[in-house]
Amino acid sequence: MNLFRLVADLMHLVSIFILLLKMQKTRSVAGRCSRISFKTQALYATVFLTRYTDLFANFQSLYNTTMKVFFIASSLYIVFLMKFKFKATNDPRLDTFKAQYVVGGAAALALIVNYAFTVQEVLWTFSIYLEAVAILPQLFMLTKTGEAEVITTHYLFALGTYRGLYLVNWIYRYWTEYYVDWIVWIAGAVQTGLYCDFFYIYFTKVLKGAKFELP
Amino acid sequence: EENTRKHDEL
């Protein structure tokens, strides 16, 4: 474990707490002008369920196991809140990104490009590829609604920063322990790349107190 | 390959 990865995981936790706070506070998934994509949250739940199949078989540390359990539980809880508790405020007509394309694409690629053709390894690889593009329905929704509440932008900032810091963690681990993992490196770079234009707007507008509005 | 070693990252 290194500081970069620890802070990255904490930013991931922060993003989940921001989302839960927003949903509890506004008691909905659609604030005045910003909406949370159910598809993205469902994709994240899938990512954690397919990635942590080794939850009991592969004990790394108490931290690792605790975080895995938290990510699985929180992502399922968010899906539950969106699907049942705040269902009335969830408008599927705005969540129009074709999620089946990213799921199909990630599954196909995981069957072709993986480290071992075993069920667990292919599921793990699928979760890595899926996580890279899971934010697309959410970003797509932002482009449709054209603007987002500030708290939603902080959610996206934390989420984007988490994987961005993992990139730094991988550079550090390559440099210190010759750690190489092409699959997570490339997927992580794609994932962080998807946030670039969001980060640009976030830093140039939201942090200056302006509303988050897409040009 | 050694990459199928136990995944130690979240």
* pLDDT over 60 at B2, yes or no: no
pLDDT by 10s per residue, chain A, length 215? 999 999 999 999 999 999 999 998 887 776 555 589 999 999 999 999 999 999 999 999 999 999 999 999 999 999 999 999 988 888 888 899 999 999 999 999 999 999 999 999 999 999 999 999 999 999 999 988 888 888 999 999 999 999 999 999 999 999 999 999 999 999 999 999 999 999 999 999 888 888 888 88
Query: What pLDDT, on a 0 to 100 scale, did the predictor assign at position B3?
Result: 55
Query: What pLDDT, on a 0 to 100 scale, did the predictor assign at position A34?
Result: 59
Q: What's chain A's length in residues?
A: 215
| Contact: B3, A68; criterion CB under 8 Å | no
Query: What pLDDT, on a 0 to 100 scale, did the predictor assign at position B4?
Result: 59
| Contact: B10, A68; criterion CB under 8 Å | yes
Whole-angstrom Cα distance, residue A89 to residue A87? 5
* pLDDT over 80 at B1, yes or no: no
| Contact: B1, A115; criterion CB under 8 Å | yes
Name chain B contacts of A5, Cβ cutoff 8 Å. 9
Q: Are A82 and A41 in contact (CB under 8 A)?
A: yes
Q: Are A148 and A33 in contact (CB under 8 A)?
A: yes
Whole-angstrom Cα distance, residue A205 to residue A209? 7
Helix (H) or strand (E) holding A26: helix A3-26
Query: What pLDDT, on a 0 to 100 scale, did the predictor assign at position A70?
Result: 98
Nearest CB partner across the interface for B7, out of A54, A67, A71: A54
Strands (DSSP E) along chain A, which ranges? 147-148, 212-213
Distance from CA of A96 to the nearest CA of B (A): 29
Name chain A contacts of B4, Cβ cutoff 8 Å. 115-116, 118, 121
Query: What pLDDT, on a 0 to 100 scale, did the predictor assign at position A56?
Result: 95
Strands (DSSP E) along A66-161, which ranges? 147-148
| Contact: B10, A64; criterion CB under 8 Å | yes
| Residue of A162, A147, A167, A156 whose CA lies nearest to A199 | A156
Query: What pLDDT, on a 0 to 100 scale, did the predictor assign at position A91?
Result: 85
Query: What pLDDT, on a 0 to 100 scale, did the predictor assign at position A32?
Result: 52
Nearest residue on chain B to A183, judged by CA atoms? B3
Tokens 């969540």 -> residue: A95
